[in-house]
Structure formats: C-alpha cells, structure tokens
Structure 1
Amino acid sequence: MTDAADDERTGIPSEPVSTRISSGALAGTRHGGVDRYLGIPYAAAPVGELRWREPAPAPAWDGVRRATEYGPTAPQTDYAPAIAEILANEIIPGEEYLNVNVWAPSDATAAPVMVWVHGGSYVHGSNALDGYDGTAFARDGVVLVSVNYRLGPEGFSVLEDAPLNLGLADIAAALRWVRAEIATFGGDPTRVTVFGESAGGVAISALVASPNARELFDRAIVQSGMLSGQTPESAGRITQAVAKKLGVPATRAGFASVPLEKLLEADEQVRAGSSPINGGPGYANAIGGDLVPVAPGPAALAGAGDDIPVLIGWNDEEHRLWAHPATSPISALLFAAVRLRFRIGRAVIAAYRRARPGIGRTDLFGQLAIDLTARLPWYRVADARAARGAAPTWVYEFDWRTSVRDLGATHALEIGFVFDRLRSPDWTRFAGSDAPQVLADEMHAAWVRFATTGEPGWPAWDARHPTQEFGTPSRVVDGPRDAQLASWGDRELS
C-alpha cells in the first residue's frame, strides 16, 4: 500500500516520520495515527558468498534510509494459474529481500508486538501483500512486524556443504532483530507473539518445539500449521531431484553454477502437480542443527515449548484449495492407495462418515489427510501440555464458507479476517465481497487480545476440549472432533 493509496482511500494525507535503529536512520510515513516503516533489512542480502549460509547481520548505512515502499521479496515463481486467481502474491526483484515491515501506533510505548510469518508451502509468498497490511493491528494498540525469509531451493535445500533449514534460520534472525530493535518503534521486546499460517504455521510449530523458543518469542499462534520434521534424506529428495534435472551436484557450488532463473524453473518443474493433499515433492523442515535438533512432534509431546502459551487452529475444509469434489476429485484408486499406505481402517472411515453423513470421497479424503498430519498431532500435544500443567493451549476452528468457486471454509480463508482486511482486493477475490465484517471483528479482536493479555477470550484446552468455532454465529463447543480423532487409536505419529 503506497502513500498515494492512503490518501485516495481516506482523504487524509500521510506525513513523514523518522526513527533510528542500530543499523541507521529510517524515514517512514505516518497516517491516521499509524507509523509505517517498510523494507527494513534485518539481515544481509543472501547473495554471493552469503548464499546458502546462515543469515549474517545487516550492514549499517549512512544517512537516512527511505522505508516508505515494500522491499524485495524472496526469489520465487508465482502460483499455478488456478491458485493465482484467488490467492494474491507479490514478487519484487532485488537482493535485500531479508527484510521486515513495521506498523506501530504513533504514540506506542511498550506496546505488545506481533510478528507475522507468511505461508506458501515454503516456495511462495512475501510480506508485501496489501492483504497483510498491519494497520488494523496498530490501530488496536499492537506493533505489527511482517517477515520475508528464503524460500524453495534458496531456503530449504538439503545440500552436502550447507546448513539445514536456512529459511527457518532467517525467521529466527528476524525474531532476534525484533527483540533487539522493536523498542525503537514503541514495542515491548518482552511481549512478542509470533503468528503464521500454512508454511508459516509449520515454521512456528518447529520453533515452538525448538530449544531456542523462549529466546525468540513469548507466545505463538499457529494457523493451519503442523508439527513436522523429516530426516535430511527425506527432506532432501526434492533437492536431489532438482540437482538431477539441472545436471549438477547437490552442493553450494553446483547450485550456484546455475542462473537463478534456471534454478527456479527446475524447481517448479519438479514440483509440478504436487500439493499438501495429493502429495509429491515439496520442501520441509529437516531434522538437524540448532533449530530442529529432533522431530518437532515428539519433542513437543515430551515437553518442548511447555513454557510458551499457544493458540492453534484450522479451517473446516482446508483441503478444498487443492482437492475439490468438482474440479479436482480424488479417484477411488488414489483413495484406496492412501488408505493402504497410512493404514486407515474401516473403523476410522465409519467414524468420519457418522460425523459427516453424506460426505463424498474427496471431502472425506481431505478431512482424513488434514487430521492425520495436522490436527491429531497437535491435539495430542495439547492434551499432554494440559496434563503436565504447561502453559495454556487454546484451539479454534474456522467454519465460515466462501461462495467463491464453492471453496467453502478452505485453506487460508481466515487470514483476511485475522488482519481485518476483508475489503482488500487480495481478499475480496477469495472471500467475495459479502464476507461478514462481524466475523473479522471477532477474530481480529481475539488475536489482539491474545497478544495483549495472553488469553484470546475462550476457555483454554482441558479434558473437555473446548474449541472456539468462528462462524456466523461463533460459539464455543466442547470436543467437536473427538469422535473422529479417537477412531485413530494410539497409532504412533512422526
């Protein structure tokens, strides 16, 4: 969002504002009681000798750095056409893409801080979307920071001579930057809530279970994320496939010998047709190193992150973005193969059909996939945390259904409500023009309340499994998925 857009929408002109961080002076804008600084480097540009290296400190600059426009975004290709029609993305070329944006109340003093980590399967996305504008958070007393991090082959390759999980290391570096610098913008560095969706939620889940968690943040919100980690061999399969397609070794020198455009093109070709529901090559957290020393799921189940209050949740029909009964139905053969591979017995199928009479194969497939990979592991962790008397866990479901393409309560739909940005073109293309503002008011207020007070406004998870269902109307329901999830029994989770 540019200054001109501010003036056009509200009729209130922006005015210049400035501050100084450890790297140098910044010139931003003030508009309607909100100060905004865009494209601030939190780490050095990951190019040249810094490519496929741990993030290095951002170099200082002389004079005043203009921070009135979004900075570069991580190298990436755009979404596939069918997804690009509904999910916005912004790709801005440039080397200094390890940057953050900051929105702060103009009079902020020790305000709570929220740090947004975007999704996109670790291959798409940026902090430069209008739909991620943090004005509503700043309006409500929160300092909002949004983060870019390395994606795809630059951020999550498993190379023989490079550190693992560099994109995750970037997020950790940005959170350390927030601890060190956010007081300059009026934020309280001891009240930092990190939140993210999809891949952003996966990253946050890993960090919650990391030994570094308390160093980085104080509270966490996981939207449609999972506790996942793979062995380097498994996580590196996509790296090996990209290297094979390019005819180079899976090393820093091998990948660096290929023009960036060719590397991204090969990566896109390797991933063609894959999705979180249908499977196929994709990037993942690799087990190893300081941030993911062990698998996040078992670590959290055993007590990692117990001192971090966590808010977790999913949308009711996550899968419909990728597996839709009308446009991308799941075949009987694929369904049977998945049942066999994941040992999904008749009792599980029967439990889901009882809970949702008349459910079709594709929707059933999607519900099973999301529950097995995301809900069930996190719910078990929530149960264990409650039994140990750990920091509270809160659980939500997002149930409101968009009429756009009959996607229903699909993946990513809740973001526009959380940011209170339903009128942004980024979200009207997805949620439609009639999305209920009252629901945005409720969700946005809950997120702000959690960051401000430590509680979102409904009972914490306990033996009753209270779940906030966000819909029209919203309500708290005890154990709405207990019957389905209990049908899985005590199977071991990775």
Structure 2
Amino acid sequence: MLQEDQVAESTANGQRVRAAVRSGVVEGLRDGGVARFLGVSFAAAPFGDNRMRPPRPVQPWAGVRPAIEYGPTAPKEPYAPQFRDLLPEVDIPGEDCLNLNIWTPDPSAGGLPVLVFIHGGAFLAGSGSVEQYDGSAFARDGIVCVTINYRLGAEGFLHLGDGHANLGLLDQLAALTWVQENIAAFGGDPARVTVAGESAGAMSVTTLLAMEQSQGLFSQAIAQSGGALHTLTDELGRTVGRRLAKRLDLEPDRAALRLVKPSVLSAAVRDLVDEVQGTPDPGRWGSLALTLTPFAPSIDGEVLTRHPLAALRSGVNSSVRLLTGWNREEARFFLVASGAIDLIDDAALEAAAQGYGLTASGLDLYRRNRSGASAGDVLAAVFGDWMFAMPAIRVAEARNADARTWVYRFDHPENRSNHGFGAAHASELPYVFDTIHQEPTHPLIGDSPSHDVADAVHGTWVRFIRDGDPGWRQYQPNMRYVGVIAKGLNEERDPAGAEREAWDGVC
C-alpha cells in the first residue's frame, strides 16, 4: 500500500510515483521494480546572490515537481581529450545544479539501507547523473541509492581566506542533511546511511569523516581510490586562489570573482590546472607539483580546521564503519591513456620516484618484484601506490583501535585484457554499480567485462551497506587483513607488504 504522500499512476513510460519531501511533492517513475526520482533539488541554485556562498535551503513549492529527468550539472570544463572516452561525461544546462537522484525498490517501504554516492573528477568534472552511476542494481538488492552533485573548481573550492572556502564540502553536507530529513519518504532509514565516493569523491568522504560537522549524517563510509593524505594546506589553497585571480586580471577578492561569468571562470580554472600539470614546479606549487590537483579541500581553519588524518587520530567519527581501498594498478589509467607509459626510461623513472620520496632501495624493490617490466610499468606501480594505496592505508592506520575499518584492493583484470589498463583507476566503478552492460564503460573495462567480477564487487558493497561487514576481517596495523577482490573475494594479510614498508616515513 502506498502512503498518503505517495501516489502511483500508470503511464506508457512506467508508473508515475509521488513522494512528499519537506519542500513539496516530487513525481518520479517506477519501472521494472525500481522507482527513480531524478534531479531533485537539495539546496537552492548557487547563482545570483547565492553564488560562491554556502548552500542555502530550497524554497518550498506548490503543486508537483517532475523528477523524471536528470537535473542541471555544475559548471565545469570537459576532461582532457585522452580521458574523454574513458570517463563518460554529461553536461546539462541550468542553474539548479545542486540536485540529487534517487533509486528505490519501494517508496512506501520503511527501514531500507541507504547509499549516498559522491562522484569523482578531480574536483573539476563529473556529476551524479553519469549513466554508469545508475542506482537500479542497488535498488534491486534492497538499497535506496542516491547520487549527488556538488560545486566544482573555483565555484566549490576557491580559498581566499575570507571564510567561504570548501563550498563543495558544504554542498555535500547539505545533501547528506537533506537525506536525513527526507529519505524516509523514499523507503530509506536515515539511521542506516552509507556515504561513498570514488577518487575526488573518496577524498571527500575521508574529509567528511574527519569533520565534526558530519556527525550523525551517516553511520558508514566507503572510500574508493582516494584518501585525505594530499589535502591542501591553508597557504597552498590561498596560493591557488591568488594565482587564479591574477589569471583573470583581478584582485583575489570573492566579490570581484563573483562577477565573472561561470563559463569564463571554469575556463580560467582549466587553464590554471594546465599550468600546474604542464610545468609542475615545486618552487611555485609545492606538493601540487606531485598531486596536480589545485582545486581540492584545503585546511581553511573554519570548515576544515585541521588535517583530516589528525582529526581521525583524535577519534572523530570513530563509531562510523569504514571500507576503504584502491585498485592494484591505479596509475595505468593516466599513463596508458596519455601514451606516456611507453616513453618513460630509467632516468625518468628514477627522477619521478625520487620526487615521490621513494628511496633507491625502495625503487629497486619495485623493480625486482616486476621482473621484465618496462620503466613505465614500474613507474605506474610507484605512482599508484603513492597517490592512492598509501593514502587509503594511512586513513586506516589513523583510526583508533575501537573504530571498525576494512581495507580492500581491486585486482581485475590481472592480464590487462582491457586495452592494457589492468586494474586501473576508476575501473571498479561499473562493477560496483553493476553497470558493465553499458557500452560507454567498455573503453576502460574491456569489451567483455566479467559478470563474476560484477557479482563479487557489487555483492561486497551490498553486504557492507546492508550488514556493516564486507566479508573479511577488519584492518589493524598489527595484522593488516585486506579483502582482495577480482572474480572472487580472498582475504590476504598485508599483500605487497614490503612495498608498503618502503613508504614508511615518506608519506
């Protein structure tokens, strides 16, 4: 039976379903046992008087708002050409970009677990409306799935020291607050929320986990290929803000930057990112010369008061269960896509490893463990561990003994049959969402993706979201159990432990 705030009506495209949220009534579609509500606003449009300011509440509306199509996406520039086929993207015009999408097995149910997913894209691109994030498979398995948008680039992560930094994080908190207040109207239990994210989304998750403002908004977290190790310092965030203003021939003043058209501002952001990545000078950019992500959460002293690892060590959100991990060959995504993997020689490998802080003996270990591998293959392993594996491990180590933490590693495919990428960055996403049938995902995961892997990965996420346990022992620094996921799930103790130890004291 539908509740009073939900109405069903059959149409040619499915069954229309209504749900009452605090701001008004929204109407979605039910089809194939899944009801979806798309483009639902969780905050007011961040333009006009609201631009470059903290998110503000949605104004209530009369009547019924349609929620059958994805809503506008945040202003952004496209991915670099070499990545566009690998990361399917969508751009939907409009100002009401702080919206979310919901898939539910039954809006009239109660007590269902909830997944809130934060997309990646280096804090510059992406949206919750990318088709590979379709939440139907989670709804099929009894989970209410929510994907969100948040402000990107300078709109979301400009830091000028004026009290308005990290607006993208505040957007994410606003979305999670909206879920707490409204998800019961879609069958979800606000006490059973898991927040998850990949890449920049995973950096967001671990940062949110370290913030006292997030307490009570979620009981579990999943961080895929992104930790808090590379958070920007206060000064580095301000350096980026000043440099962006100089590019626009403006003073580093928010009022002046608010007058710049969003399209012009996002283009300037892209140019600044190109400058950082094209001339990664440590003298000018500090650690950004290695991370190459100038727009990201920064320790501004207000929204983010201290480094996330320090906050986690102090016990913030220690009651939240965490699943964190990485893909075995993360960096092949970047090096194979660009073709750089075939251009790297031993001298370049040694210079890069030294830049990451790896000792000569550590690099020799990586070489010995990959007999016959090219210099580019070895660099991919080194860079991937520095950028993704070690941040995940450091987060797991930072949590106190009472915090429940599990670590995974995604290992598929071992033979790199997916156009040479292997278990590269973002390659787990279609398996997590069980959207491997979508052809736009195949340039990265291969033309014959494994249903066994999808069952293993998606099933692991479902178990954790539903039951609070992914299926292997928790991670402790004295034991270091890791769930290794490919066509099945295997528990291993400290896989590649010698290489992990090579980073001790470095990162």
Decide: shared fold, TM above 0.5. Answer: yes
**Which shows bigger deviation, 76-85 or 354-363?**
354-363
Is residue 2:442 matched to residue 1:428? yes
CA contact (8 A) 1:225 1:374 kept: yes
The residue aligned with 2:233 is 231
**Which shows bigger deviation, 155-164 or 479-488?**
155-164
Is residue 2:316 matched to residue 1:318? no
Quote how far apart the aligned CAs of 1:334 are. 4.6
The residue aligned with 2:409 is 397
The residue aligned with 2:475 is 461
Quote how far apart the aligned CAs of 1:458 are. 1.5
Q: Summarize the Cα distance change of 1:236–1:384 in structure 2 as closer, same or farther, 3 Å threshold.
A: closer
Q: What is the distance in 2 between the residues matched to 1:325 and 1:285?
A: 27
The residue aligned with 1:308 is 320
Matches within 5 A, 1:323-334: 323-324=335-336, 327-329=339-341, 330=344, 332=346, 334=348
Q: Summarize the Cα distance change of 1:337–1:310 in structure 2 as closer, same or farther, 3 Å threshold.
A: same
The residue aligned with 1:363 is 377
CA contact (8 A) 1:113 1:189 kept: yes
Equivalent residue for 2:425, pick from 399, 411, 425: 411
CA contact (8 A) 1:319 1:363 kept: no
Q: Give the secondary-structure state (helix, strand or coil) at the position aligned to 2:479.
A: coil
The residue aligned with 2:96 is 96
- Residue-by-residue CA offset, 1:392-426 (whole Å, 9 max, x unaligned): 21111111135343111110010000001101133
Q: Which residue identity lines up with residue 333 of structure 2 in the other structure?
A: L
Equivalent residue for 2:357, pick from 337, 343, 357: 343
The residue aligned with 2:25 is 25
The residue aligned with 1:253 is 255
Q: Which residue identity lines up with residue 109 of structure 1 in the other structure?
A: G
With the length of structure 2 as denominator, give the TM-score of the two structures.
Answer: 0.89
The residue aligned with 2:156 is 155
Q: What is the distance in 2 between the residues matched to 1:161 and 1:198?
A: 28
The residue aligned with 1:57 is 57
- Residue-by-residue CA offset, 1:205-261 (whole Å, 9 max, x unaligned): 111111133322110000001113222221233332221121112222221232222
Q: Give the secondary-structure state (helix, strand or coil) at the position aligned to 1:321.
A: helix
The residue aligned with 1:4 is none
Q: Summarize the Cα distance change of 1:287–1:334 in structure 2 as closer, same or farther, 3 Å threshold.
A: farther
The residue aligned with 2:202 is 201
The residue aligned with 1:131 is 132
The residue aligned with 2:109 is 108
Q: What is the distance in 1 between the residues matched to 2:272 and 2:22?
A: 42
Matches within 5 A, 1:383-394: 383-385=397-399, 388-394=400-406
The residue aligned with 1:165 is 166
Q: Summarize the Cα distance change of 1:364–1:60 in structure 2 as closer, same or farther, 3 Å threshold.
A: same
Q: Summarize the Cα distance change of 1:369–1:429 in structure 2 as closer, same or farther, 3 Å threshold.
A: closer
Q: Which residue identity lines up with residue 212 of structure 1 in the other structure?
A: Q
Please, what is the CA RMSD of the aligned residues?
A: 2.2
Q: Which residue identity lines up with residue 475 of structure 1 in the other structure?
A: N
Equivalent residue for 2:456, pick from 438, 442, 451: 442
CA contact (8 A) 1:277 1:323 kept: no
CA contact (8 A) 2:419 2:443 kept: no
Q: What is the distance in 1 between the residues matched to 2:124 and 2:483?
A: 31
Q: Summarize the Cα distance change of 1:299–1:91 in structure 2 as closer, same or farther, 3 Å threshold.
A: same
Q: Summarize the Cα distance change of 1:325–1:364 in structure 2 as closer, same or farther, 3 Å threshold.
A: farther
Quote how far apart the aligned CAs of 1:20 are. 0.6
Q: Which residue identity lines up with residue 303 of structure 1 in the other structure?
A: G
Q: What is the distance in 2 between the residues matched to 1:45 and 1:334?
A: 47
Q: What is the distance in 2 between the residues matched to 1:31 and 1:207?
A: 34
The residue aligned with 1:7 is none
Q: Summarize the Cα distance change of 1:319–1:199 in structure 2 as closer, same or farther, 3 Å threshold.
A: same
Q: What is the distance in 2 between the residues matched to 1:168 and 1:343?
A: 30
Is residue 2:392 matched to residue 1:378? yes
**Which shows bigger deviation, 288-297 or 59-68?**
288-297
Quote how far apart the aligned CAs of 1:322 are. 1.3
Q: Which residue identity lines up with residue 235 of structure 1 in the other structure?
A: G
Q: Give the secondary-structure state (helix, strand or coil) at the position aligned to 1:90.
A: coil
The residue aligned with 1:472 is 487
Q: What is the distance in 2 between the residues matched to 1:352 and 1:335?
A: 11
Q: Summarize the Cα distance change of 1:405–1:316 in structure 2 as closer, same or farther, 3 Å threshold.
A: same
**Which shows bigger deviation, 425-434 or 181-190?**
425-434
Quote how far apart the aligned CAs of 1:56 are. 0.5
Quote how far apart the aligned CAs of 1:351 are. 2.4
Q: Which residue identity lines up with residue 266 of structure 1 in the other structure?
A: A
Q: What is the distance in 2 between the residues matched to 1:331 and 1:163?
A: 44
Q: Which residue identity lines up with residue 407 of structure 2 in the other structure?
A: V
* Identity value in percent: 37
The residue aligned with 2:73 is 73
Q: Which residue identity lines up with residue 423 of structure 2 in the other structure?
A: A
Quote how far apart the aligned CAs of 1:461 are. 1.4
Q: What is the distance in 2 between the residues matched to 1:144 and 1:279?
A: 31
Is residue 2:496 matched to residue 1:481? yes
Q: What is the distance in 2 between the residues matched to 1:301 and 1:236?
A: 26
- Residue-by-residue CA offset, 1:18-64 (whole Å, 9 max, x unaligned): 11101001111111121111111100100011111111111111110
Quote how far apart the aligned CAs of 1:264 are. 1.5
Q: Give the secondary-structure state (helix, strand or coil) at the position aligned to 1:367.
A: helix
Q: Which residue identity lines up with residue 189 of structure 1 in the other structure?
A: P
Q: What is the distance in 1 between the residues matched to 2:178 and 2:293?
A: 33
Aligned length: 480
The residue aligned with 1:187 is 188
Q: Give the secondary-structure state (helix, strand or coil) at the position aligned to 2:216.
A: helix
CA contact (8 A) 2:298 2:304 kept: yes
Quote how far apart the aligned CAs of 1:309 are. 0.9
Quote how far apart the aligned CAs of 1:277 are. 9.3
Q: What is the distance in 1 between the residues matched to 2:397 and 2:162?
A: 40
Q: What is the distance in 2 between the residues matched to 1:175 and 1:87?
A: 25
Quote how far apart the aligned CAs of 1:304 are. 2.9
Q: Which residue identity lines up with residue 366 of structure 2 in the other structure?
A: Y
Q: Which residue identity lines up with residue 92 of structure 1 in the other structure?
A: I
Quote how far apart the aligned CAs of 1:454 are. 0.4
Q: Summarize the Cα distance change of 1:13–1:48 in structure 2 as closer, same or farther, 3 Å threshold.
A: closer
